[in-house]
Amino acid sequence: MSNIVIKAENISKQYRLGLVGTGTLSHDFKRWVYKMRGKEDPYLKVGEINDRTQKGNSDYVWALKDINFSIEQGEVLGIIGKNGAGKSTLLKILSRVTTPTTGSIGIKGRMASLLEVGTGFHPELTGRENVLLNGAIMGMSKLEIKRKFDEIVDFSGVERYIDTPVKRYSSGMYVRLAFAVAAYLDPEILVIDEVLAVGDAEFQKKCIGKMKDVSQEGRTVIFVSHNIDTVKSLCKRGVLLNNGSILKDDNINDVIDLYIKNQTRTQESFYEFKVESTENLDCYPLSFKIENKNNELVSEIPAYEKFTIKINVFLKKDIDHFVCAIGLCTNLNLPLRTLWSVPKDLKKGKHEICFYMNNVFLETGSYIINLGISTYERTLFSKENFNTLTISDISSDDRPENVLRIKGAGIILNTEHIEIK
Amino acid sequence: MIDQDEYTLIIKPKNSLLDINFKELWRYKDLLFLLVRRDFVSVYKQTILGPVWFFIQPLLTTATFTLVFSKMANISTDGIPAPLFYLIGVTFWSYFSTCLTATSGTFVNNASVFGKVYFPRLIMPLSIVISSLFKLSIQFIMLLIGWIYYMTTELSIVPNFTILLLPLYIISMAGLGLGFGIILSSVTTKYKDFSFLVGFGVQLLMYATPIIYPLSLIKNPNIITLVSLNPMTGLIEGIKYGLTGHGIYDLGLLTYSLVFTIVLLFVGVIIFNKVEKSFIDTV
């Protein structure tokens, strides 16, 4: 017997756009006529890919199209993707809130889904009563809830309010209690949507800790979130959805890399700035280039190879004390490095600023680039997340002997003198 | 293809019509009880009179009916004292109408819960029927008091053994309310038009049921047939006959009501079961 606990085959979900109700009756009728004649549903053929930014020709779209995956027992799978990529639809199908239009999913074991905390909480009922009710809605038996009741209340930290109607709770307390119930569900498979959006930092940490515990107990977890940070710390495997289909199903780090790359507008070695209005600007950037050591434009830099970032700017007038800075952030948007040019008085016209990256090297992955131009601490221009820098894992010949790995090593500062005696 | 035996649950686009998972329904019995409790407890929270409202509603309706239909319009009450006549009618009719109206909103009112978590949807309407039953039993106590009072003061009030059928009458009424309710709730998910129908439809149906008049009052055979087509007619008349000895106890009418209930429930559950799978997309 295999260890696969969830197996999805050709899952697709079609939605009808526009107002349900206009023309619904006639479409229903046509469907019925086709069915009676033993034909396929005529509207299954007309769906289009689900891209909300583009105007389509059809009233029907595929929110999900031909999704295939399988999850083994004990795996913690993170599902990421932009808004409208199909994450929620997939979760809804998994948690049986709605059915797929085609395809089927096999599930082994008891599954509980947490698409929202506090589902079915009744404002007039007390915390105690709601814990019982909410637990039952999630599929626990009364006995099971009663046995865990004290632990639940303890975890939530709202003991004092437990006999007060939940409508008197603060939103944080509400979520705490709701999450506590969910945390003590004992399913073999747990499906979680972004439920950690509320609650203070301390409680969020507690929740993530609890979720880690759950996954370490050998239970299978499917986690959906926009919070890349959380996904990264919880999951080992990731699935990236884009316009209703799986773009990548792989190791979580690789999946996040691709997601970040797709999120930034361009990922090119040459990037032309399109500044909307230059009227109020004394200075604005024209282009951005990444060049390798041979002064060739490249989109990826092999790890441990020197490279140069070049920025062309245009000055409408003379600027004293001109400083150009670039910032590199990790794909989790944590600031990693900031580089400033030496302040310089510049004449009006075009100038090129070159950042030579010769000493400090980065591990493989994608980095977000921010740009700022200032004079005397006053910002003249700034743009965040306008491009990414990719360090590929093709190792360069320049790599010294004391660098063993280029993945998971952080910033590589091997100029330090290291000696074993 | 996915092997049926290997997995405990298969999610498929559409299941067959009769695929109703009673085992699963049973597993969620705790939820059913808790929902019944919730309905019962939450209704009169933060009210001063609390459960007393259960008595006020039928009492005031009975008083109004007695005044308008008996005193002013002089409609016969079949030899039963007018307050008792209307009290019986109002108590049982309100059970039926609550069941119907409340269950008819199952999908639309619970969309936010249904959209987030799965449990057998039938639990919701069932809980309404059961919690209304509690309300009915409280109101029935009041009916009993009135009934005993009139039994001791009026010689014409003679109950008989058919009153033992009362539980069957009530189950049948619950079934009718539930059946109509879940069918309406299913069609309302797509065509909201029906939600407008429910409110006044139930009101109109009351006039087609011998609540404010006895069936024996109607002389025109066509209208008798019409009123008899209403499955509630036989039940209400049967209850009145059992409690007071006045009314029409007709086995044909009662059998019709029961068969109607069973067929309605059967059809209702099938439709409900079909709609629950993906109603969240259209609601």
Tens-digit pLDDT profile for residues A359-401: 778 888 888 889 999 888 888 888 888 788 888 766 666 677 7
Return the residue matching tokens 């996904």. Answer: A231
Please identify every stretch of chain A with a pLDDT value under 50, giving residue numbers as ranges.
21-22, 265-266
* Cβ-based neighbours of A235, under 8 Å, separated by 6 or more: A76, A77, A78, A221, A223, A252
CA B97 to chain centre: 5
Across residues B162-189, what is the average pLDDT? 93
Q: Inter-chain contact A104–B13, Cβ cutoff 8 Å?
A: yes
What band does B118 get if pLDDT is binned at 50, 70 and 90? confident
Across residues B174-198, what is the average pLDDT? 89
What band does B137 get if pLDDT is binned at 50, 70 and 90? very high
Q: What is the reported pLDDT for B182? A: 93
Least confident segment among A413-417, B110-114, B123-127, B279-283: A413-417
Q: pTM of the prediction?
A: 0.74
Q: What is the reported pLDDT for A396? A: 64
Q: Which residues of B touch A107 (CB under 8 A)?
A: 7-11
Higher pLDDT, B258 or A403: B258
Q: What is the reported pLDDT for A46? A: 62
Q: Inter-chain contact A103–B277, Cβ cutoff 8 Å?
A: no
Higher pLDDT, A41 or B161: B161
**CB atoms < 10 A from the CB of A339, how many?**
15
Residue B101 and residue A66: Cα distance in Å, rounded? 41
| Per-range mean pLDDT, top range of A334-338, B138-142, B261-265 | B261-265
With CA atoms as reference, the chain A residue closest to B34 would be A133
| Tokens of residue B260, six digits | 């109607």
Q: Which residues of A touch B109 (CB under 8 A)?
A: none
Helices B231-244 and B251-276 meet at what angle, rounded to 10? 130
Least confident segment among A7-16, A193-202, B110-119, B241-250: A193-202
Burial class (CB in 10 A: 0-12, 13-18, 19+), A127: buried
Smallest CA–CA distance, residue A177 to chain B, in Å, is 17
In B4-23, the residues whose Cβ lies within 8 Å of chain A are: 6-14
Closest residue by Cα to residue B135 from B58, B246, B214, B29: B58
At B46, the amino acid letter reads Q
In B175-194, the residues whose Cβ lies within 8 Å of chain A are: 190-192
What band does B254 get if pLDDT is binned at 50, 70 and 90? very high
Return the number of CB contacts < 8 Å for A and B: 121
In B119-158, the residues whose Cβ lies within 8 Å of chain A are: 119
The answer to whether B109 faces chain A, any CB pair under 8 Å, is no
Q: Which residues of B touch A120 (CB under 8 A)?
A: 113, 117
At A201, the amino acid letter reads A
For B51-76, the pLDDT digits (tens) are 788 888 899 999 999 999 989 988 88
Q: Outline where DSSP puts E strands in A17-72.
A: 48-49, 60-72
Smallest CA–CA distance, residue B185 to chain A, in Å, is 16
Q: Inter-chain contact B191–A133, Cβ cutoff 8 Å?
A: no
Residue B274 and residue B272: Cα distance in Å, rounded? 5
Smallest Cβ–Cβ distance between B10 and the set A94, A97, A104 belongs to: A104
Closest residue by Cα to residue A246 from A10, A5, A4: A10
Q: Which residues of A touch B106 (CB under 8 A)?
A: none
The answer to whether A117 faces chain B, any CB pair under 8 Å, is no
Q: Inter-chain contact B278–A98, Cβ cutoff 8 Å?
A: yes
The CA-atom distances, in angstroms, between A332 and each of A11, A253, A328, B3 are 31, 11, 11, 40
Max distance between CA atoms of chain A, in angstroms, equals: 86
Q: What is the reported pLDDT for A266? A: 47
In A140-179, the residues whose Cβ lies within 8 Å of chain B are: 140-142, 165
**CB atoms < 10 A from the CB of A397, how many?**
7
Residue A12 and residue A86: Cα distance in Å, rounded? 10
pLDDT at residue B215 greater than cutoff 80: yes
Contact A303, A340 (CB under 8 A): no
Smallest CA–CA distance, residue B1 to chain A, in Å, is 8
| Tokens of residue A293, six digits | 């050591």
The answer to whether A97 faces chain B, any CB pair under 8 Å, is yes
The answer to whether A106 faces chain B, any CB pair under 8 Å, is yes
Q: Inter-chain contact B2–A105, Cβ cutoff 8 Å?
A: yes
Smallest Cβ–Cβ distance between B34 and the set A111, A136, A165 belongs to: A136
With CA atoms as reference, the chain A residue closest to B8 would be A108
Structure ipTM: 0.79
